[in-house]
Amino acid sequence: MSVHPLSSFSATVATLRRAGCVFAEDEASLLHEAAASPDQLAALVAGRAAGLPLEHVLGWAEFCGRRLAVDAGVFVPRRRTEFLVEQAAALAPRRAVVVDLCCGSGALGVALATEASTTLDRVDLHACDVEPAAVRCARRNIGGLGQVYEGDLFDPLPVDLRGRVDVLLANVPYVPTADVELLPAEARVHEPRVALDGGGDGLDVMRRVAAEAPEWLAPGGSLLVEASERQRDAAVEVLRGAGLVPRVVVSDELYATVVIGTAGARVT
């Protein structure tokens, strides 16, 4: 790590503040840490000041205490989604089959597999995304922890996973189409629309996932999805309508709402 003069650090902070960065000093520290030379620092600062997400500028995001690669054009994992991973870890059996749908960078699957490795015997991790850039990024992050597939929702998954999935993570897009234009430019401009836009009421992709989930979940297995507070009742009905037993857990600290749908025993 190179050390840059204090005057350079002060100039970075001033530049970021002028660009509207609320946490200018914290971001400046990260940019200085990442830069190997003054020229590289200038390029990093210019990218951030131009509105690129900090994670895309740095090339990584911190999630569940780990730095994970996040390439340009890939959805940046949100800190509130750490709450979903916590709930999933509490539900996972000792030998867990885990699927991470709409995986983006693979952050949820990696976090669950590594977190659970201290308490579980084995995690059989499968992840998939429709975006090629996300798939490439997820493969770098997941590495030997599991398999990553490219395709739409369940389509690319191995058929032998049907009826065997213990934990189904689905960080689906849930922003209503009309609200996408209200998002900060960092997300609206630099993240894939398919990772943000959830359709008219924000629940279109959730409905698709819930409709197929019972075919893939093991008896007692659970689907976990994130929603906004105003969508929670509608999301509960989506999961109930698919034949799952729903419940809602909330973190006030992280401003996170997670809806969990659990599969019952199969009728023979």
Query: Higher model confidence: residue 121 or residue 153?
Result: 153
Identify the band that residue 119 occupies on the pLDDT scale cut at 50, 70 and 90.
low
pLDDT for residue 118: 63
pLDDT for residue 196: 83
Query: Higher model confidence: residue 94 or residue 234?
Result: 234
- The lowest-confidence range among 107-116, 134-143, 162-171 is 107-116
Identify the band that residue 21 occupies on the pLDDT scale cut at 50, 70 and 90.
confident
pLDDT for residue 102: 94
pLDDT for residue 117: 57
- The lowest-confidence range among 26-40, 134-148, 223-237 is 26-40
pLDDT for residue 101: 96
Identify the band that residue 37 occupies on the pLDDT scale cut at 50, 70 and 90.
confident
Span 31-38, average pLDDT: 88
Span 108-118, average pLDDT: 82
The gap from C-alpha 93 to its chain's centroid, in whole angstroms, comes to: 22
215: pLDDT strictly greater than 80: yes
Span 129-137, average pLDDT: 95
Span 86-93, average pLDDT: 92
Identify the band that residue 268 occupies on the pLDDT scale cut at 50, 70 and 90.
very low
pLDDT for residue 267: 43
Contacts of residue 173, defined as CB under 8 A and 6 or more positions apart, other chains included, come to: 102, 194, 195, 196, 197, 198, 202, 205
- Of the chain, the percentage scoring pLDDT greater than 90 comes to 62
52: pLDDT strictly greater than 90: no
Q: What is the 3-state secondary structure (H, E, C) of 202-263?
A: CCHHHHHHHHHHHHHEEEEEEEEEEECHHHHHHHHHHHHHCCCEEEEEEECCCCEEEEEEEC
Mean per-residue pLDDT of the chain: 89
121: pLDDT strictly greater than 90: no
Question: What b-and-e string marks burial along 139-170, b requiring 16 or more CB atoms within 10 Å of the CB?
Answer: bebbeebbebbbeebbebbeeebeeebbbbbb
pLDDT for residue 2: 46
3: pLDDT strictly greater than 50: no
